[in-house]
Structure 1
């Protein structure tokens, strides 16, 4: 596991810049560093050593050193690949996975990605052809940013590494900001900085002769297929999950699991226990709000398997990490569960180096309550002729309800009825609606975004899906948008900030591809979410865990923004610095704050604005005298 960076150019790149870029990635790789330099390429990396700890330093080379690679991630099928490469006559100098890349490239060229089972972002420099190949794994576990200008290309694992180049103009991409306010994250291929891009999941980028070209190499096929029986399908879930867990337990460093007490993480811990000779180390986080605290369920599973269990409680005092979060997340990121995730990763990283989690179970097997809502709403045609009054009534009702309350859910459901399925889902996933953004924006910002429709991103994702039902398409859309844009960013950033590697058995691409084609009736049935997964893992779990209600992983944000965070939000969002950006109408921002303080729920929208402003102060604003603004020294 590493952080990678580099520059390729027709001219000789600056190797000192690449070293500065890697310095800012030191948290991703505290165990070592390595660099390659030639007339047209400078590559660098920081290493978190997990497999072949003493031997697999990077960069890695082929036999004649004409092909070089830097790599972030894990290739779980590397033993089989190494045997195959040796049989073909390749000489391997290490015992790890990274070296497979250069030799597979020699054999297969760009097609090597189809042979990799794992999570990865890598760069391969072909010195003979003066060609760079960048790749990102199928589902987007590992990040990769890039930019090009004047025939030169820069890339890095994190956006802040690219900002080490003084030639990069730090200007907000207004389209990215528009999308961020809708979804609470900046979706690929945008980044929050103009001219910088994220390589989307399942994509390659090739650079040669100053020209960069991206291409998609993988998309899961959600075409539904029949299954012989529920019992056989449940057994297949168990077999595939056990195999995906087994290969992710290979590590020369201490290993554990994040345990929320939900079905997904509990199933992963149960699978780990079946492969482990000793107690599994498990780590949980809870809250002082009982309605959000799942620790009792995590303890139930921990006792059942006799794990070495550790837990912590997150209170509003945990908000002291907000400046560190702005720095580590690189872009505005408004999923408030990043706070407990960061604290959990910090606690976990003090004891282990590798941790398994349950990410992906909801998207594969139908775990979110919104899937149930969309399945039911799919039976109701879009009442487009009543769209405006339904929107108004639904918004007014939802604003009166507490977060996740029946009143709030009813209001949101009413507002959906005036829209077709893709727009219904877009509204479910939106923090700000289009109308709310229009009311928020200053005149110049509104004029610059007249023709930009953030909901069109989900329209396109719906249209590209091969799923045969509304439910199937919604889940496919999540696999391509919400999962890589929000959940995987949250986990990768929080864990790597604490030099901790996170692995996700549910996101093994063999399991993803198999689960994607299951009929919807095995995912959501008669008001039950994750029907097949629950049936499959029920024999592994203690009584009561499978039937417990889903709670989600949230923080009491609405309450915090009326109490402990109220002054901070008001001060940061209404002071001269925020107003001087000229992006939002000050009276609209103040109105949001006042209405939230008065009992309406605008927590998600206020949090999104707060995270954007905090990000601006870390990355855009000039240093304040007496405060260290050197990015390399940030927490």
Structure 2
């Protein structure tokens, strides 16, 4: 998160010039346009190359860089920007991002013709934000950097804020800021010779399962593909690296690949979550099995308010995925060992499959009963403030929420832990439009047009992984803030495409992941092969209970203080645990104080 850029046509009238105060340090000026950028700190993942009127800016990791360079007759040490610029020339002024692999942002501009490309990789661990105003087009992988650019207001987007409040992170292309959009994964932004801006989707995961496959051959091919992918990732690591290790199969498969390739990490880092989700014992066993130094990061004892303030500072907008606390806690240990980090992120997405057998029939039943369920929901919503501290009533309001979904995409939204009744209780009436769940279904569907059979089910299951402000971006964003580069081999399109061609009956579900276990059963400890999936858990409920959050969430302009106080007390006393709601409220309160947003 170290660069911000600006692109502007010379010939357009009524365009403002950037003042000296906001001027970017490096610029290229041509016949039609000017491209300027500023790098705010040294970052080895950023490279810039120029050839006559063409400029390429690259940020991230480009896999198979040396092989592409050799094919183009370049030295193996050629930077990603040099490689891509030569590839662009060799393809007669075209770049095919679908054929590229890695986590990246690519800018290619011709300042003499005025053409401009902004490309985000297919899986998108690296966020890409942009805005266009009278000063031209600005872009960055850092939202806070973009907010400091001229002409950008602090006006809040209703869809963006509703996405955060109800889903923990926003819905592309919306951010919480009205003026700033985010480029969805596998999309490119193009400005043509007439200065028209268009955004196009260039790739998708083809869910086309093949029939009559042999389980053993599938496992062998899976292992071969993953070894190739991990080798490509290791080739881009120029120094020591660490790995995030849990008891789950995903991170252990990556560690097994590193061991088999003869390049082990400097350290395996595990977050200790108190209670039944503690995976440190199994993770330590695996690290010892592969001969890797193991370090455990303990549950953070610092005040939650301090961590909330840092989350908001890093993101530049609200972000409330609970596991971010654990990731932030591990960064000091990771920095001690390395500047590169391998993760097992992406394993779940690869094991998606068709929806439930009776999903269509169930949706029809819900649609038929919707007048009754909607009436029941409105009744529970209207009297919920009277029962904020009642556990049974909270469960009834959540059930009413689930039963009112006509379509699967609405069901996915309604499953999120903050109900309409709770929003109505804690949010002042003036701001309820900003947390309306109705705002979310349309952009979710529009983002990836669900027309093929079973696509709606596949999409709604994949959403938490594919959304750019979601799970993948979390680790990359926190790590980049601390100067660490993240590589996640299981998000590689070669692995995702292959697994999408395997029927669920063979590869197993997102919980089972049978193919991964079978592929590495000869090298992984038996305890890891048999370990159930737990996910990356953070004891956030306990952290909220022992922290003084009353002053943080009270007294700001959007919350009802009395109802919020009742919910905090019910949570701390163990009557009605409301972890997601209170964590989101803390994030919002910090964001209001740090950025002073305009709700209009």
1:89-145 CA distance string (max 9 Å, x none): xx6695332211212222333433133121110211212212221110001121111
Report if the CA contact (8 A) 1:124-1:133 is conserved. yes
Deviates more, 1:531-540 or 1:602-611: 531-540
Aligned-residue CA RMSD (Å): 3.5
Report if the CA contact (8 A) 1:10-1:151 is conserved. no
1:499-554 CA distance string (max 9 Å, x none): 111101111111111112321223446x9622322222332210121222222212
**Structure 2 vs 1, CA of residues 183 and 398 (structure 1 numbering), >3 Å: closer, same or farther?**
farther
1:434-477 CA distance string (max 9 Å, x none): 44334444333335777943244445568626464876454444
**Structure 2 vs 1, CA of residues 211 and 528 (structure 1 numbering), >3 Å: closer, same or farther?**
closer
Q: Which residue of 2 aligns with 1:595?
A: 570
**Structure 2 vs 1, CA of residues 284 and 211 (structure 1 numbering), >3 Å: closer, same or farther?**
same
Structure 2 unaligned residues grouped into runs of 5+: 11-15
Report if the CA contact (8 A) 1:133-1:204 is conserved. yes
Match of 2:586 among 610, 615, 629: 610
What TM-score do the two structures reach when normalised by structure 2? 0.86
The whole-number CA distance in structure 2 between the counterparts of 1:475 and 1:14 is 44
Match of 1:357 among 343, 360, 363: 343
Q: SS in structure 2 opposite 1:220?
A: coil
Match of 1:255 among 233, 236, 241: 241
Match of 1:547 among 530, 536, 554: 530
Query: In the alignment, is residue 334 of structure 1 matched against residue 314 of structure 2?
Result: no
How far off is 1:50 after superposition? Answer: 5.2
Q: Which residue of 2 aligns with 1:630?
A: none
Q: SS in structure 1 opposite 2:294?
A: strand
Q: Which residue of 2 aligns with 1:129?
A: 113
Map 1:103-142 → 2, pairs under 5 A: 103-108=86-91, 109-142=93-126
Query: In the alignment, is residue 572 of structure 1 matched against residue 552 of structure 2?
Result: yes
**Structure 2 vs 1, CA of residues 105 and 16 (structure 1 numbering), >3 Å: closer, same or farther?**
farther
Query: In the alignment, is residue 60 of structure 1 matched against residue 60 of structure 2?
Result: no
The whole-number CA distance in structure 1 between the counterparts of 2:21 and 2:212 is 55
**Structure 2 vs 1, CA of residues 240 and 467 (structure 1 numbering), >3 Å: closer, same or farther?**
farther
Report if the CA contact (8 A) 1:138-1:203 is conserved. yes
Q: Which residue of 2 aligns with 1:160?
A: 144
The whole-number CA distance in structure 2 between the counterparts of 1:381 and 1:398 is 32
What TM-score do the two structures reach when normalised by structure 1? 0.81
Match of 2:282 among 291, 294, 297: 297
Map 1:401-480 → 2, pairs under 5 A: 416=402, 419=405, 420-428=407-415, 430-446=416-432, 452-460=438-446, 464=450, 466=452, 468=454, 472-480=458-466
Report if the CA contact (8 A) 2:161-2:435 is conserved. no
Match of 1:562 among 530, 539, 545: 545
Report if the CA contact (8 A) 1:223-1:468 is conserved. no
**Structure 2 vs 1, CA of residues 178 and 478 (structure 1 numbering), >3 Å: closer, same or farther?**
closer
Report if the CA contact (8 A) 1:172-1:194 is conserved. yes
Q: Which residue of 2 aligns with 1:71?
A: 58
Query: In the alignment, is residue 234 of structure 1 matched against residue 219 of structure 2?
Result: yes
How far off is 1:217 after superposition? Answer: 0.9
Report if the CA contact (8 A) 1:224-1:467 is conserved. no
Report if the CA contact (8 A) 1:37-1:43 is conserved. no
1:1-44 CA distance string (max 9 Å, x none): x6332111134964966776xxxxxxxxxxxxx83332522123
**Structure 2 vs 1, CA of residues 460 and 153 (structure 1 numbering), >3 Å: closer, same or farther?**
closer
How far off is 1:169 after superposition? Answer: 1.4
The higher relative CO (CA closer than 8 Å, separation ≥ 6) is in: 2
Report if the CA contact (8 A) 1:18-1:43 is conserved. no
Map 1:209-220 → 2, pairs under 5 A: 209-220=194-205
1:61-112 CA distance string (max 9 Å, x none): 12xx2111111111111122112222xxxx6695332211212222333433
Q: SS in structure 1 opposite 2:103?
A: strand
How many residues are paired up? 573
Q: Which residue of 2 aligns with 1:381?
A: 362
Structure 1 unaligned residues grouped into runs of 5+: 21-33, 52-56, 402-406, 623-635
Q: SS in structure 1 opposite 2:6?
A: strand
Q: SS in structure 2 opposite 1:36?
A: strand
